[in-house]
Amino acid sequence: MAFDKPPVIIDTGSYTIKAGFACDNHPVAIFRTAVGRPSYLNGSYGKEPYDVYVGNDAIEQGEDLEISYPVVKGRIVHWDNIERILHHILYRELKVAPEDRAVMLSLAASTPMSEKYKCCEVIFETLNCIGLCIQSQVVLTMYGSGYTTGICVDMGYDKVDIAPVYEGGLIAYAQTTTGIPSLQLHDYIRRLLEERNINVTSQRVLRDIKKNAYITRNAAYNRNTAKKTFTLPDGEVIDISNEAFMAGEVLFQPELAVPDWDVLSIPKAVDKAVEMCDPDLRAELLDGVVPCGGMAMIPGLCPRLKQDLEVLTNEVVNVYTSDEAYALSWLGGATYGGVAEPKIWVTKRQYEDFGEKIVKNKFT
DSSP string, 50-98: ---EETHHHHHTGGGEEEE--EETTEE--HHHHHHHHHHIIIIIS---G
User: Mean pLDDT over residues 128-152, rounded?
Assistant: 93
In the chain, which residues fall in CATH 3.30.420.40?
8-33+69-143+328-363, 148-319
C-alpha to C-alpha distances, 57 to 33, 52, 63, 209, 299, nearest whole angstrom? 11, 9, 12, 22, 30
Indicate whether 219 pLDDT > 90: no
CATH topology for 8-33+69-143+328-363 is Nucleotidyltransferase; domain 5 (3.30.420)
Indicate whether 21 pLDDT > 90: yes
pLDDT of residue 281: 93
**pTM, whole model, 2 decimals?**
0.91
pLDDT of residue 61: 82
Name the band, by pLDDT with cuts 50, 70 and 90, for residue 18.
very high
Instruction: Spell out the residues 6+ positions from residue 108 whose beta carbon is closer than 8 angstroms to its own.
Output: 73, 74, 75, 136, 137, 161
Are 148 and 167 within 8 A, CB to CB?
yes
Each residue's pLDDT tens digit, 246-292: 999 999 988 877 666 678 899 999 999 999 999 999 999 999 999 99
CATH code of the domain occupying 148-319: 3.30.420.40
Beta-sheet pairing, 150-155 with 289-292: parallel
pLDDT of residue 211: 92
Are 344 and 254 within 8 A, CB to CB?
no
In whole angstroms, what is the distance from residue 288 CA to residue 310 CA? Answer: 13
Each residue's pLDDT tens digit, 41-67: 766 666 667 788 999 998 888 777 888
User: Mean pLDDT over residues 109-116, rounded?
Assistant: 89
pLDDT of residue 167: 92
Classify 292 as helix, strand or coil. Answer: strand
pLDDT of residue 46: 60
Phi-psi region of 333 (alpha: psi -120 to 50; beta: other; left: phi over 0): alpha
Name the band, by pLDDT with cuts 50, 70 and 90, for residue 340.
low
Q: Supply the mean pLDDT for the chain.
A: 89
Convert 279-309 to b/e letters by CB count within 10 Å (16 or more is b). eebbeebbbbbbbbbbbbbbeebbebbbbbb
Name the band, by pLDDT with cuts 50, 70 and 90, for residue 338.
confident
